Amino acid sequence: MIERSPLAPVAFPDLPAIAGVTPRIARARYKAWDRCDLTYVELSEGTAVAGVTTQSKCPSPEVEWCRDALPLGSARALVVNAGNANAFTGHRGRAAVEAIAAKVANHLGCLPSDIFVSSTGVIGVPLPVDKAEAGLEAAFAASPCTWEDAAATIGTTDTYAKGARTSAMIGGTRVELVGIIKGSGMIAPDMATMLGYIFTDAAIEPALLQQMLSTANRQTFSCITVDSDTSTSDTVLAFATGKAGNAPLASSEDAGADAFQAALSDLCRQLAHLVVRDGEGASKFIEIAVEGAESDSSAHRIALSIANSPLVKTAIAGEDANWGRIVMAVGKAGEPADRDRLSIRFGDTQVATGGLAVEGYDEAPVAAHLKGQDIRIGVDIGLGKGRATVWTCDLTHGYISINADYRS
C-alpha cells in the first residue's frame, strides 16, 4: 500500500455538480485490485469539447482517437480506464478503443466520434475488450457518483484523489468549473499532463474553448515535471455543457471571456500543482522562477533544466543548499547564459551573484527554508527580460521503490 503523500491537501474539496454532467464508476477488473477502475461520464447533448494531448511520438490509440474527434467539437461521453494504458498495442489497441466508443454511442444514440476515451497504466498490454464492455454495462446501470469517487477511480500510483473548482461571471451569469486529474509519475508533459478532465456549465464555442485551454496549458500543465518522462497517454479534455444559460462565448473579445480564461487558467494551475504534490516519493514541492533570460521560451527551458536535474532534486531532498548544482543545470540547458551575471536565491536569501557566492551570506535562513515542504528557487540570468516559472518535486528513494515494482 502506497502511503499518502506528505504534500497532499488535508481533504478533497467540495465540488459542485455541473449541469449536464453525470459521472459514474464501475469495476472492469483490469488489474487484480479491489477497486473501481472504469469511469464513465455522460454529457448532455450540445456539449462542446476541447483538448490537448501528448507530444510523445509513441502515443496510445486513445490519444489518436481523441485527436481525430476533437476537431468536430462535440461530446456526449467520456470513458477512462485505469490500470492498462493500452499503449504500444498495435491494431488490437485501436480495436479496443473503437469497441468502447461504439458501445457507448449505441447506448446514447450518438456518433462514436462523440465519445472520448482515455486509458492509463501499464504500457504494452492490449486492453481486454471483454472487461471493458462488462465494465461499461456496469457503469450504465450504476448510480451517479461523487467527484471524489471519479477522481479516485482514474488514478494508478496516485496516493490521493485530485480535484479543484473555480467559477466566473459571464454577464450576470455565474458559471462553474470543476476539474479532476490523475498523475504521480511519468510526468514531464509537453502539452498537458497525464489524464485531466475539466467540466463547466458555461456556453462557449468549441474553437474558443480550444484556444483558452491551449493558453491555460502553456502556463500550467506544460510547466510541471516530476521525473522528466513524457507519457504516451497524456490528455487533458475540457467539456462545456452550456447549461448555465449565459450568452454563448464565441470570441475572446466577448464580455466575460477574460473572466472565464482567468478561471480556467486558475483551475488548471490548481490541478497541475496537485499532480506535483503527489510526485512519486515526493517530500518537497519546488517552485523554480527564472528571470533575466533572453526570452520567455529560453527561461522556460532553463527552468526545466533545473527542475529535471537529479542532482538538484536530490540536494533538495537532502535539504542541502548546494547552489553549485543550480549553476550546473543553467549551464547545461543549451540556452544563452553568462556565468558572471548569474544570481541565485533560495527562498528570500540571495546565495550567489556575479559568478560568486554572496560574501558572508548567512546559510541559517536557507537551511530553515529547505526544511519546509514548499521550496522556492530563484534564478536571474542577467541577460534580458524573459521569465518563466515551473514546478517540480524532490527525488527520494520512494520514487525508486514505487517504480521498481510497478507492474507487480
Catalytic residues: 193
* DSSP string computed for 136-197: HHHHHHSPP--HHHHHHHT-SS-SS-EEEEEEEEETTEEEEEEEEEE-SSS---SSS-SEEE
Strand ranges in 267-408 using DSSP code E only, listed in sequence order: 285-293, 343-346, 349-353, 356-357, 374-380, 386-393
- What are the helix (H) ranges across 46-89? 61-69
User: In whole angstroms, what is the distance from residue 34 CA to residue 237 CA?
Assistant: 28
Q: Tell me if 162 is assigned to a ligand binding site.
A: no
| Helix, strand or coil, per DSSP, at residue 109 | coil
Cell output for 359 = 560574501
The string over 222-250, giving b where at least 16 C-beta atoms fall within 10 Å of a residue's C-beta and e elsewhere, is: bbbbbbbebbbbbbbbbbbbbbbebeebe
Residue with cell 461521453: 77
Amino acid letter for position 226? V
Write out the H or E segment, with its range, that includes residue 121. strand 115-122
Q: Tell me if 205 is assigned to a ligand binding site.
A: no
Amino acid letter for position 111? L
Q: Tell me if 280 is assigned to a ligand binding site.
A: yes
Amino acid letter for position 255? A
Paired sense of beta strands 343-346 and 374-380, if any: antiparallel
Q: Tell me if 403 is assigned to a ligand binding site.
A: yes
Q: Tell me if 389 is assigned to a ligand binding site.
A: no
Binding site, by residue number, is: 156, 182, 193, 280, 403, 408
Binding site for substrate, by residue number, is: 156, 182, 193, 280, 403, 408
